[in-house]
Amino acid sequence: MEFDLHWIRPLWLLALPLAALPWLKGRHVRGTWTKVLDPALAPFLLEGRGKRAGSNWRLICSAGLALCLLALAGPAYRQMPVSATRGGDALVAVLDVSRSMLAADLTPTRLDRARLKIKEGLRMRAHGQTGLVAYSGHAFTVAPLTTDAATLINLLDVLAPDVMPSRGSDVAAAIARGHRLLNQADARQGRVLLVTDGSGGRRAVEAAAALRADGHMLLVLGAATPEGAPVPDMRGGFMRDAWAGLVVNRPDENALLRLAREGDGAYRRMTVDNGDLRELLGRGPGVASGSPADDLRAMRWRDEGPLLLLFLLPLAALAFRRGWILVLLAAPLGAYGSDGWFTTSDRQGMRAFSDSDYPRAVELFDDPQWRAAALHRQGHFLESAEILRGLTAVPARYNRATALALAGRIETAVRLYEELLLDQPDHADARHNLEVLKQSASLAAASGENPAQAPADALEQAADQAEGQQESMPLASDMAVPDEQMLPDSSQSWLLQVPDDPGGLLRRKFLRQYRAEGVDQDGNPLWPGGEAEPW
């Protein structure tokens, strides 16, 4: 075989002159000494026993650096064949999400069975890319062509009529949307799987013909029984016509068959087993075998750079013998042991705070609120309040007032609590502490006790009774917790109460696309209720 050297990343070769830096450094050192020493003594002092040792380490450094740069440049001398296409084919699943799909002639509903069928179809496809389109009066892209079938399965569960921003059933727009996804992915001989209970009329036939003209195929899966079923309305009943009769939706199977033929595909009515899917998905080039396509091949240079790194092993052995490897390893290990390079001072302070080492936490914390909290835990209330002076955050103002109250500065604490409640009337802890201070001060004045000490004792008793709930001095829960700290249990419980609506994202996405298009399929303005078909 002819040897043909090729560089995959040739720009790294421009850095090769850096390999000479160790030699330049040594020469610069010798040149500096030659200006100071007597010329007669210089050969004996500079070219003596240290010459060989200095040359060796410079040679090792230069050779190792040169090998690394050559490996990064990606030397290659042979090409390897690789597949030029993704495995399998491209399929776009198009789901009808109109209100008629809520009919119950298929158990439990047509829509539930349709979603289940698409999920089974995704699991049956071992290779290839799959996209997902949902449509009612308009068609929307749920997901472009991707190999991540698990994501599509999760998105299917949230597709429902209330997610769609318009009513109706525009089959032509759905086919055109799937056609567009195939073209955007440069798919050859792709397929569109239409799962619906309506044919769409002449416009849908034209869209199917356009799909076939680009070399793609339309597969139609009928999601209804020939007898049909009433269409549910939004009030829990069934839709009625102008004569108060039930609106029964029945599929036109002849029209669906014609639609599939125009798309060079096939039509099958939905069955209980997966025979319908196997027959539909078995149609198309390179699908029945389920193996990756290997008809298109390309040649790619094989990177031989990692082999050059093997020559670094003897150089590394020489460096280990001189102790350089141990020095390089000791530096990061020492930094890790000192806990200074890999963690911030606030995280180190949090670790000391968690270990009840409050004096060290005060030294480590940069955050003034946490430093004040550490001082508070030591009983240095005035120092804690002084650190919090000037901070405008609500937790800082509340903590400062509490610290002053515990230090006996009752009048100042009461004023701070009242100012805080003017800005935050719903601050329950501040209101509670203010009431405690006022009541305790009144009782102390009536009994002749020290009016400054009694409220402080009352707050400390409240803190002891509600330890962990942070009613008197929320040292941590009201503050900004450093990274990688767990939320308090109360916050986690609150998060669990937040309603989770997985379809909200798709609903907003579809509505944005719906408003951006401007007109419906007939050229009419897009306003709710303007479509011709009520379901």
| Identity at 226, one-letter amino acid code | P
Task: Tell me which DSSP letter residue 480 carries.
Answer: -
- Least trusted range by pLDDT, from 119-123, 148-152, 316-320, 425-429: 316-320
Whether residue 199 has pLDDT greater than 50? yes
Instruction: Quote the pLDDT of residue 205.
Output: 92
The pair phi, psi for residue 452, each rounded to 5°, is: -85, -30
Q: What does the pLDDT look like over 146-179, one tens digit per residue?
A: 888 888 888 888 888 888 887 888 899 999 999 9
Least confident of 10-19, 64-73, 231-240, 353-362: 231-240
d(CA 259, CA 265): 9
Pair of tokens at residue 197: 């209970």
Where is pLDDT greater, at 260 or 293?
Answer: 260
Average pLDDT over residues 220-228: 90
Count H helices and E strands in the chain, helices first: 22, 12
- Strands of 191-196's sheet in order across: 139-146, 129-135, 90-96, 191-196, 217-222, 267-269
Q: Which residue do the tokens 């102790």 mark?
A: 323
The predicted pLDDT at position 479 comes to 43
- Give yes or no for a contact between 170 and 138, defined as CB atoms under 8 angstroms apart: yes
Tracing tokens 């200095």 back to the chain, one arrives at 54
Q: Residue 368 burial (CB < 10 Å; 0-12/13-18/19+)?
A: middle
**Confidence band of 492 (pLDDT split at 50, 70, 90):** very low
Token pair, residue 438, equals 């006022």
| CATH class of the region 345-481 | mainly alpha
pLDDT reading at 141 higher than 60: yes
- pLDDT grade for 426, boundaries at 50, 70 and 90: confident
Q: Do domains 90-281 and 345-481 have the same CATH topology?
A: no
Sorted by where each begins, the domain ranges of the chain are 1-77+303-344, 90-281, 345-481
Neighbours of 250 (CB within 10 A): 15
Instruction: Determine which of 11-25, 215-229, 392-406, 479-493 has the lowest per-residue pLDDT on average.
Output: 479-493
CA distance 293 to 143: 24
* Strand residues in 331-461 grouped as ranges (E): none
At 355 the three-state DSSP class reads: coil
| pTM of the predicted structure, to 2 decimals | 0.47
φ, ψ dihedrals at 210, nearest 5°: -65, -35
pLDDT at 299 (0 to 100)? 77
What architecture is the 90-281 domain classified under in CATH? 3-Layer(aba) Sandwich (3.40)
- Between the two ends of the chain, the Cα-to-Cα distance in Å is 69
